[in-house]
Structure 1
Amino acid sequence: MQGGNQLSSEGIGDYISEKEAQKLLGKKTTWFWSMRTKGHLSFTKVGNKVFYHKKDLEKYMEDCKTEAFRRGK
């Protein structure tokens, strides 16, 4: 493949691997599994690797920021 769509352990295009998402959000594998099974976080699975769309993670982070603001933190 050419350009920015090359598949790697970090991701492909607008998707990042769960490993990279864990670093980004500071969450563990179990948290991601829970969010997927509850339907709170969409994902794509290729083989045994799970990938998340960057926009979905950004939305989650914005939602958390908004919730913290409403709680007065």
Structure 2
Amino acid sequence: MEELLNEVVPQEDLERFERKYLHEFELDGEVSTETKFEYAFCLVRSRYTNDIRKMDDVIIFIILPLETHELKTIQKA
């Protein structure tokens, strides 16, 4: 179990799932549950703290489904 907690995701995996996440969102404003999970899984296992902070955006999509224009307003703030 401890090995899993200390595991760091390769940067190329993080980038691949980030592209997938953004692509789905740009298509129709929706992101599949699977893609949200994959991206979040990579973010929390990133070696960079800024990546972990991106989890806020993913959590918003999981907990509070927002309209695209509302999300853009939040991201600009």
Higher normalized strand content (fraction of residues): 1
Identify whether the pair has TM-score above 0.5, normalized to the shorter chain.
Answer: no
Q: Give the structure-2-normalised TM-score.
A: 0.31
Higher normalized helix content (fraction of residues): 2
Q: Give the structure-1-normalised TM-score.
A: 0.32
